[in-house]
């Protein structure tokens, strides 16, 4: 994979950078600027070289239409604050305004192009249509830097096809992500513990399948745990359950035993009568994992499980975590996710290499107030991290070879 140092002297050159600025918004207020901050090292490195930095990114799913609420204006404003400069936002991605703003740039300037997904060609399944669109963007620059790790698992115009038209390399963030995830999956320090949570086991099938041959220990929590508990013959009440995955899960459990992989499941859970939509819906109680009433649902791991998971995580040299342990957005059901985050912090302090695998896990550690430097690496790519852990070839990385 080519990196920034392979691009040579960039002084005075127009450098197109595909970043990942798909940040959560409350109206026009950014509620988590982690992805913007993650892009700063590459932007600063290019500015220090005297490059003209032309940033492009997507926000949300406008489905090829101009949706004013998904403008990158809040991103341009926040990026300017973080860099201490004004970051102009082009009114389009490659049209007259983008061309004019790029033409007016001086060395070290930064311009942000409008949401690439306002263009239907960006995510087109037609390679020719996508390639023709990418050439219009590529005409703005002389060099391409891929630094949006959150989109490298997709072959899209601004992160894949543009690389065919310009000298291309990975930015510092993508390079950092690949090194961290590779360290966890290629000859990792052992024991290697993989902690998986989130709502659906089907979202993690590829990861489990790949890591059953690599991990020493799999720790399963979140909504996906109830399919595992059901596969053991337990009553799971009205908890989230994927009936069609029970036989697959049974196969994984057999493989884990055969491969000597320790499979750690919750021993107790926090249940509630219904999925909480308000404080009035919350009436939690703790029960053993094999004693969930038929009319209740599990929404978090219990205190015994928290200690069990903590001990297994701290007894590791490498830890990868992807997916919360419960409905962490509701404080009552956030304790399991907090416990796992704290366990990773403790493991890191003890010398382990720890990765928070993007998506909800990354949001959780920030929203729950954990320091980012308490973990070895917090990934910016949810889907990309998962597919990397699945062992898949990612188009956005392959094109940089």
Say whether 9 counts as a known binding-site residue.
no
Q: Among the options 237, 326, 359, 382, which is catalytic?
A: 359
Say whether 81 counts as a known binding-site residue.
no
Say whether 117 counts as a known binding-site residue.
yes
Q: Give yes or no for a contact between 34 and 370, defined as CB atoms under 8 angstroms apart.
A: no
Q: Among the options 64, 108, 383, 391, which is catalytic?
A: 383
Q: Annotated catalytic, 383?
A: yes
Say whether 37 counts as a known binding-site residue.
no
Say whether 298 counts as a known binding-site residue.
yes
Q: Give me 36's structure tokens.
A: 């913007």
Say whether 34 counts as a known binding-site residue.
no
Q: Annotated catalytic, 374?
A: no
Beta strand extents in 280-364 (DSSP E only): 285-288, 297-301, 318-322, 353-356
Helix (H, G, I), strand (E, B) or coil at 327: coil
Say whether 21 counts as a known binding-site residue.
yes
Q: Is the dihedral of CA 166, 172, 173, 176 positive or negative?
A: positive
Cis check for the bond before 191: say yes or no (omega within 30 of 0): yes
Say whether 300 counts as a known binding-site residue.
no
Q: Among the options 2, 44, 200, 255, which is catalytic?
A: 200
Q: Annotated catalytic, 35?
A: yes
Q: How far apart are CA 321 and CA 340, in angstroms?
A: 9
Q: Among the options 35, 78, 176, 312, which is catalytic?
A: 35
Say whether 108 counts as a known binding-site residue.
no
Say whether 58 counts as a known binding-site residue.
yes
Q: Annotated catalytic, 359?
A: yes
Say whether 59 counts as a known binding-site residue.
yes
Helix (H, G, I), strand (E, B) or coil at 358: coil
Say whether 183 counts as a known binding-site residue.
no
284 CB contacts (<8 Å, ≥6 apart)? 270, 271, 272, 299, 332, 333
Burial of 104 (0-12, 13-18, 19+ CB in 10 A): exposed
Return the active site residues. 35, 200, 359, 383
Output the known binding site: 20-22, 35, 58-61, 117, 154, 204, 298, 329, 358-361
Output the known binding site for (2R)-3-phosphoglycerate: 35, 117, 154
Output the known binding site for substrate: 20-22, 35, 58-61, 117, 154
Output the known binding site for ATP: 204, 298, 329, 358-361
């Amino acid at each position: 994979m080519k990196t920034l140092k392979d691009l040579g002297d960039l002084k005075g050159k127009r450098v197109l950078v595909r970043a990942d600025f798909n940040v959560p918004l409350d109206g026009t207020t950014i509620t988590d600027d982690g992805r913007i901050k993650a892009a700063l090292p590459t932007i600063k490195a290019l500015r220090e070289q005297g490059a003209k930095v032309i940033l492009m990114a997507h926000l949300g799913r406008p489905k090829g239409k101009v949706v004013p609420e998904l403008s990158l204006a809040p991103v341009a404003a926040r990026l300017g604050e973080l860099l201490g400069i004004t970051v102009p936002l082009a009114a389009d991605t490659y049209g007259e305004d983008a061309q004019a703003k790029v033409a007016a740039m001086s060395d070290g300037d930064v311009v942000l192009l409008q949401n690439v997904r306002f263009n239907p060609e960006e995510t087109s399944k037609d390679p020719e249509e996508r390639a023709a669109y990418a050439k219009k963007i590529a005409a703005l620059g002389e060099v391409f830097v891929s630094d949006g790790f959150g989109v490298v698992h997709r072959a899209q115009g601004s992160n894949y096809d543009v690389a065919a038209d310009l000298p291309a390399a990975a930015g510092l963030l993508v390079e950092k992500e690949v090194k961290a995830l590779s360290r966890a999956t290629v000859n990792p320090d052992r024991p290697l513990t993989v902690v998986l949570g989130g709502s659906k086991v089907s979202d993690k099938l590829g990861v489990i399948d790949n890591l059953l041959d690599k991990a020493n220990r799999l720790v399963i929590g979140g909504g996906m745990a109830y399919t595992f508990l059901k596969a053991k013959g337990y009553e799971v009440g009205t908890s989230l359950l994927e009936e069609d995955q029970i036989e697959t899960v049974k196969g994984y459990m057999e493989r884990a035993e055969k491969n000597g992989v320790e499979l750690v499941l919750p021993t107790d859970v926090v249940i509630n009568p219904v999925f909480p939509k308000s404080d009035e819906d919350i009436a939690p109680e703790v029960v053993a994992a094999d004693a969930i009433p038929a009319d209740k649902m599990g929404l978090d791991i219990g205190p015994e499980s928290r200690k069990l998971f903590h001990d297994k995580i701290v007894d590791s040299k490498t830890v990868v975590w992807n997916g919360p342990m419960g409905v962490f957005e509701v404080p009552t059901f956030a304790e399991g996710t907090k416990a796992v985050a704290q366990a990773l912090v403790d493991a890191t302090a003890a010398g382990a290499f720890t990765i928070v695998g993007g998506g909800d896990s990354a949001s959780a550690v920030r929203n729950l107030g954990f320091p980012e430097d308490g973990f070895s690496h917090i990934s910016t790519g949810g889907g990309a991290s998962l597919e990397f852990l699945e062992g898949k070839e990612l188009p956005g990385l392959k094109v940089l070879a």
